[in-house]
C-alpha cells in the first residue's frame, strides 16, 4: 500500500517565501534540487511539520510577514481508502466517502501565536484517521518519516542486542523523538541508532525466526549484500571471543584481513545508518523525507543508497533534497523539482514544466544536475579555458556550469542556442580574439550582449604581463628587476613576428577572397563541379595576391608591433620560449600554473583583462540573484 503526496503549497515558512508543486502522486522518488540558500530543506520541514503536527508559530513563521500557510493533498489508492473506511467503521461506527485527493492545511500567526485550521471539509475525517497514531501503528503506510541533514551516527565496539528495537511502540517513540528534535529543536542533532547494535539485533531476530521455522527475509543479509556491492567489504556475522567472553561484528576487507565494524569510515557508517532508516520504511510503506542523504558518502556509496531508495518504489514515496549528480541522473525529469531564490514568484519549478531547460539538456548534452545546481552557464572554446578559469577564480567558477564548445564558431553557435531559450539563469559566452581586427571584434560584440571576447589573442596572453612574471620570479627567489623582465619578454616575442604575419596574411586573404557558396542548379555532380571550379578561382586569386598582401601586412605589423605585440603574439609559443629564457621552472606548464596562482591571489598584479571577465561574470550572477 502506498500513501503519496500529490501537491503542496508553502508560504512564509522559515526562509521559504512561496513554494508549491502538484501532480506528484505517480512519482515514487522526487528529488528537490537547486542552488544553495534557496530553501530546499524547508520544503521537507514544512511537509513533515504539517503531517505530524509538529509546528511552532515562533520558530516556523518566516521573514515575509506574520502569517505562514502550509497545505498539501494526499492521494490514496482504492485499497488504502478501504482500509481507512474499515477502520472508521470499526472505531467510529461511520463510513467515509472516497475522494480524488485529501487536503490538509494550517495557517500560523507569529504575533498572536495561534494556529488556524480552515473550514471543515468532508475529507477531513479521512485525514484525521490517517494521522491517528493508533491507525498508523496498525497501518504504517500512513506514516511520514523525516530525516534532516544534521544527524549523527553512533558506533560502539561491543554491540548489544535490543529485543525491543523493532517493537511497534518503540518505533513510534523513536519517530516522535526524531520529529521533535528535527522540527522543534532547530539546533538539535538527530541521532541514528548504533550500527553494531542494530545489526546484532537483526542477526538475533534471524536466529529466533529460524528456530521457530518462520519464513521471512533476512534483513542482515540484505544490508550486508548492498554494502558489499558498494564497497567490496563483507560484514561478517557476530562472533564471540571465548577467552574474553566478548562478542563483536567484524568487517572483512580482503581475504583473511578483518577489522571491527567501528573502524569503518564515517561515510561507510553513514551508509549503514541511512540503510537502516530506508529499510524501516521499506518494511512498512509510507512517505520518507530525506535531506541530503549523500553527505559524507563517496559516489559509490551514494549509488548503493540510491538503489535502496529505488527499491521502495512499490511500497513508499521518497522526497529527497540532494546535490548529488548520481541521484539526480537516476530520476526522470517529471520527478525533479528545482527550488529558486525567493522573489521569483513560485520558488518551485518542475523540470519537465520548463521546456527551454529540457531543450537545453538535449542541445548541449547537459545533465539535469548541471542545470539545476548552477547559478549560471559559461560557454568557452576549449578545456584549457575552463581549467585556467577554475584555477584563477575558484569561487566564481564554482557557481557556474562551464560548457566546452570546441572552437570560436561553436561558441557562437552555442550563443545562438542560448539566445533562443528562456533559461531563467544568467549566461555568458567567452571567445578567444585570435587575430580579429578591432572592427571585426566590435561587430561581434555590438550585436551580442552576452558575448565576451578577450582584448588579447587568448587567455594565455594575459600571463605575459611583465608585472605578473616579475612577481612570480620574486616569489621563487629569482633576482631580476621589472625592466629586465620586460626586456626578456620582448627578447622572446620579437622573433615571433613572422608567425603573426603568416596568420594576418591568411586572415586578410580569406577576408578579401571568401570561399564560394554553393550552387542551387544542376545535378549533384554539376554542383560538385561548380564548387571545385569556384574554389579553384578563389585559390588562384589568393595566390596572385599573396605577395602584395604580405608586404602590406608586414608594414602594418611593423608599425603596430611595439604597442600591439601582446594582442597579436601566440601566447603558447611565447610562454614556452620565456620559460626557456628565464629558466624558472622545469616545464612551461609549471610556469603557467605559478602565474595563474599568483594572478588568483594577488589583485595588484592580476592582469586587467582577467579581472574584467571576473567582474562581468560576478555582476551577472549577483544581478540574477537580486532579481
In angstroms, rounded to a whole number, what is the distance separating the alpha carbons of residues 32 and 419?
27
Q: Tens of pLDDT along 533-591?
A: 999 999 999 999 999 999 999 999 999 999 999 999 999 999 999 999 998 899 999 99
User: Could you tell me the residue range of the domain that residue 43 belongs to?
Assistant: 4-152+186-356
Asked whether residue 85 carries a pLDDT value surpassing 90, the answer given is yes
Mean pLDDT of 5-22: 94
282, 314 in Cβ contact below 8 A?
no
Strand partners, 429: 379, 451
Asked whether residue 15 carries a pLDDT value surpassing 60, the answer given is yes
Q: Looking at residue 279, what is its pLDDT?
A: 67
Question: Does residue 194 sit in the same domain as residue 68?
Answer: yes
Asked whether residue 188 carries a pLDDT value surpassing 60, the answer given is no
Quick one: three-class SS letters along 366-425?
Answer: CCHHHHHCCCEEEEECCHHHHHHHHHHCHHHHCCEEEEECCCHHHHHHHHHHHHCCCCCC
20 phi, psi to nearest 5 deg: -150, 155
Question: Does residue 239 sit in the same domain as residue 379?
Answer: no
Mean pLDDT value across the chain: 87
In angstroms, rounded to a whole number, what is the distance separating the alpha carbons of residues 249 and 236?
6
Tell me if 382 is assigned to some domain: yes
Please, what is the angle between helix 466-475 and helix 571-582, to 10°? 40
In angstroms, rounded to a whole number, what is the distance separating the alpha carbons of residues 26 and 2?
10
pTM, entire model: 0.71
528, 573 in Cβ contact below 8 A?
no
Percent of the chain with pLDDT over 70: 93
Residue labelled with grid coordinates 521455522? 213
Asked whether residue 148 carries a pLDDT value surpassing 60, the answer given is yes
Q: Give one DSSP letter per residue of 21-34, joined into a string.
A: E---TT-SEEEEEE
Domain end, chosen from 356, 390, 418, is at 356
Alpha helix (H) residue ranges in 107-185: 124-131, 133-138, 168-179
Tell me if 617 is assigned to some domain: yes
Q: Looking at residue 213, what is its pLDDT?
A: 86
Question: Does residue 59 sit in the same domain as residue 125?
Answer: yes
Q: Give one DSSP letter per residue of 303-317, joined into a string.
A: HHHHHHHHTTTTTEE
Tell me if 366 is assigned to some domain: no
Mean pLDDT of 80-106: 91
Count of domains for the chain:
3
Q: Confidence band (pLDDT; 50, 70, 90) for 627?
A: low
Asked whether residue 187 carries a pLDDT value surpassing 60, the answer given is no
Tell me if 388 is assigned to some domain: yes
Question: Does residue 450 sit in the same domain as residue 537?
Answer: no
Number of H helices, E strands in the chain: 24, 22
Question: Does residue 440 sit in the same domain as residue 507?
Answer: no
Question: Does residue 225 sit in the same domain as residue 103?
Answer: yes
Report the CATH number at residue 378: 3.40.50
Q: Confidence band (pLDDT; 50, 70, 90) for 282?
A: low
In 3-state terms, what secondary structure has residue 17?
strand
Q: Looking at residue 183, what is its pLDDT?
A: 74
Q: Looking at residue 89, what is its pLDDT?
A: 93
**Which segment of 31-40, 135-144, 152-161, 494-503 scores lowest on mean pLDDT?**
152-161
Most confident of 192-201, 383-392, 471-480: 383-392
Question: Does residue 622 sit in the same domain as residue 598?
Answer: no
Most confident of 151-160, 201-210, 481-490: 481-490
Question: Does residue 471 sit in the same domain as residue 442?
Answer: no
Q: Looking at residue 508, what is its pLDDT?
A: 93
Question: Does residue 492 sit in the same domain as residue 534?
Answer: yes
Q: Tens of pLDDT along 255-274?
A: 778 888 888 888 888 888 88
453 phi, psi to nearest 5 deg: -115, 130
In angstroms, rounded to a whole number, what is the distance separating the alpha carbons of residues 71 and 327?
27
380, 397 in Cβ contact below 8 A?
no
Mean pLDDT of 480-497: 95
Tell me if 243 is assigned to some domain: yes
Q: Looking at residue 365, what is its pLDDT?
A: 72
374 phi, psi to nearest 5 deg: -105, 140
**Which segment of 211-220, 354-363, 367-376 scores lowest on mean pLDDT?**
354-363
Asked whether residue 156 carries a pLDDT value surpassing 60, the answer given is yes
Mean pLDDT of 198-224: 85
Asked whether residue 141 carries a pLDDT value surpassing 70, the answer given is yes
Domain end, chosen from 325, 356, 387, is at 356
Asked whether residue 243 carries a pLDDT value surpassing 90, the answer given is no
Question: Does residue 385 sit in the same domain as residue 512?
Answer: no
Q: Looking at residue 294, what is its pLDDT?
A: 80
Select from 318, 291, 231, 234 the least CA-distant residue to 267. 231
Asked whether residue 626 carries a pLDDT value surpassing 60, the answer given is no
Q: Tens of pLDDT along 297-338?
A: 777 677 777 776 766 666 778 899 988 777 777 788 888 898
Tell me if 308 is assigned to some domain: yes
Question: Does residue 389 sit in the same domain as residue 279?
Answer: no
Percent of the chain with pLDDT over 90: 46
Tell me if 368 is assigned to some domain: no
Report the CATH number at residue 281: 3.40.50.300
Question: Does residue 490 sit in the same domain as residue 393?
Answer: no
Asked whether residue 448 carries a pLDDT value surpassing 90, the answer given is yes
Select from 28, 138, 26, 127 the least CA-distant residue to 74. 127
Q: Confidence band (pLDDT; 50, 70, 90) for 223?
A: confident
Tell me if 20 is assigned to some domain: yes
Q: Confidence band (pLDDT; 50, 70, 90) for 281?
A: low
Higher pLDDT, 359 or 46: 46
Most confident of 12-16, 193-197, 238-242, 454-458: 454-458
Asked whether residue 450 carries a pLDDT value surpassing 60, the answer given is yes
Amino acid at each position: 500500500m502506498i500513501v503519496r503526496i500529490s501537491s503542496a503549497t508553502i508560504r512564509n515558512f522559515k526562509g521559504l517565501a512561496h513554494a508549491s508543486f502538484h501532480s506528484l502522486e505517480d512519482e515514487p522518488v522526487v528529488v528537490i534540487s537547486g542552488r544553495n540558500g534557496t530553501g530546499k530543506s524547508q520544503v521537507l520541514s514544512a511537509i513533515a511539520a504539517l503531517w505530524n503536527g509538529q509546528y511552532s508559530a515562533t520558530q516556523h513563521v518566516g521573514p515575509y510577514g506574520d502569517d505562514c500557510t502550509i497545505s498539501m493533498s494526499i492521494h490514496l489508492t482504492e485499497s488504502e481508502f478501504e482500509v481507512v473506511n474499515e477502520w472508521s467503521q470499526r472505531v467510529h461506527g461511520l463510513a467515509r466517502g472516497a475522494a480524488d485527493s485529501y487536503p490538509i492545511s494550517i495557517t500560523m500567526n507569529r504575533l498572536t501565536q495561534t494556529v488556524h485550521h480552515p473550514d471543515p471539509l468532508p475529507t477531513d475525517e479521512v485525514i484525521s484517521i490517517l494521522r491517528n497514531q493508533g491507525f498508523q501503528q496498525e497501518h504504517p503506510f500512513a506514516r511520514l518519516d523525516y530525516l534532516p541533514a544534521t544527524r549523527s551516527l553512533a558506533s560502539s565496539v561491543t554491540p548489544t542486542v535490543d529485543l525491543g528495537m523493532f517493537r511497534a511502540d518503540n518505533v513510534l517513540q523513536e519517530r516522535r523523538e526524531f520529529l521533535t528534535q528535527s522540527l522543534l529543536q532547530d539546533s538539535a542533532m538527530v541521532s541514528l541508532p548504533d550500527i553494531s547494535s542494530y545489526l546484532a539485533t537483526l542477526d538475533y531476530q534471524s536466529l529466533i525466526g529460524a528456530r521457530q521455522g518462520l519464513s521471512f527475509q533476512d534483513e542482515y543479509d540484505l544490508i550486508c549484500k548492498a554494502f558489499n556491492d558498494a564497497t567490496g567489504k563483507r560484514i561478517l556475522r557476530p562472533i564471540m571471543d571465548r577467552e574474553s567472553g566478548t562478542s563483536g561484528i567484524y568487517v572483512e576487507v580482503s581475504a583473511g584481513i578483518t577489522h571491527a565494524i567501528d573502524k569503518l569510515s564515517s561515510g561507510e557508517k553513514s551508509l549503514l545508518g541511512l540503510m537502516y532508516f530506508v529499510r524501516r520504511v521499506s518494511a512498512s510503506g509510507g512517505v520518507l523525507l530525506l535531506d541530503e542523504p549523500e553527505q559524507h558518502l563517496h559516489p559509490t556509496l551514494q549509488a548503493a543508497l540510491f538503489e535502496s531508495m529505488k527499491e521502495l518504489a512499490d511500497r513508499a514515496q521518497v522526497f529527497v533534497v540532494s546535490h548529488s549528480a548520481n541521484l539526480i541522473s537516476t530520476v526522470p525529469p517529471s520527478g525533479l523539482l528545482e527550488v529558486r531564490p525567493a522573489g521569483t514568484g513560485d520558488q518551485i519549478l518542475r523540470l519537465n514544466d520548463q521546456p527551454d531547460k529540457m531543450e537545453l539538456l538535449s542541445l548541449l548534452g547537459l545533465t539535469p544536475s548541471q542545470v539545476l545546481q548552477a547559478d549560471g552557464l559559461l560557454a568557452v572554446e576549449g578545456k584549457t579555458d575552463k581549467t585556467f578559469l577554475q584555477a584563477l577564480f575558484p569561487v566564481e567558477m564554482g557557481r557556474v556550469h562551464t560548457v566546452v564548445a570546441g572552437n570560436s564558431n561553436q561558441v557562437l553557435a552555442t550563443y545562438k542556442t542560448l539566445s533562443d531559450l528562456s533559461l531563467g539563469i544568467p549566461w555568458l559566452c567567452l571567445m578567444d580574439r585570435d587575430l580579429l581586427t578591432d572592427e571585426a571584434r566590435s561587430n561581434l560584440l555590438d550585436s551580442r550582449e552576452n558575448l565576451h571576447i578577450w582584448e588579447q589573442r587568448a587567455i594565455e596572453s594575459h600571463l605575459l604581463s611583465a608585472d605578473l612574471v616579475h612577481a612570480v620570479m620574486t616569489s621563487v627567489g629569482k633576482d631580476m628587476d621589472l625592466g629586465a623582465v620586460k626586456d626578456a619578454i620582448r627578447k622572446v616575442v620579437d622573433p615571433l613576428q613572422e608567425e603573426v604575419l603568416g596568420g594576418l596574411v591568411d586572415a586578410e586573404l580569406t577576408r578579401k577572397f571568401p570561399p564560394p557558396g554553393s550552387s542551387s542548379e544542376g545535378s549533384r555532380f554539376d554542383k560538385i563541379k561548380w564548387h571545385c571550379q569556384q574554389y579553384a578561382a578563389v585559390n588562384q586569386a589568393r595566390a596572385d595576391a599573396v605577395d602584395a598582401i604580405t608586404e602590406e601586412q608586414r608594414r602594418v605589423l611593423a608599425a603596430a608591433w611595439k604597442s600591439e605585440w601582446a594582442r597579436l603574439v601566440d601566447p603558447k609559443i611565447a610562454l614556452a620560449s620565456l620559460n626557456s629564457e628565464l629558466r624558472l621552472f622545469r616545464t612551461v606548464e609549471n610556469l603557467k600554473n605559478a602565474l595563474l596562482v599568483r594572478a588568483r591571489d594577488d589583485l595588484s598584479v592580476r592582469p586587467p583583462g582577467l579581472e574584467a571577465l571576473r567582474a562581468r561574470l560576478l555582476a551577472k550572477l549577483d544581478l540574477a540573484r537580486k532579481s
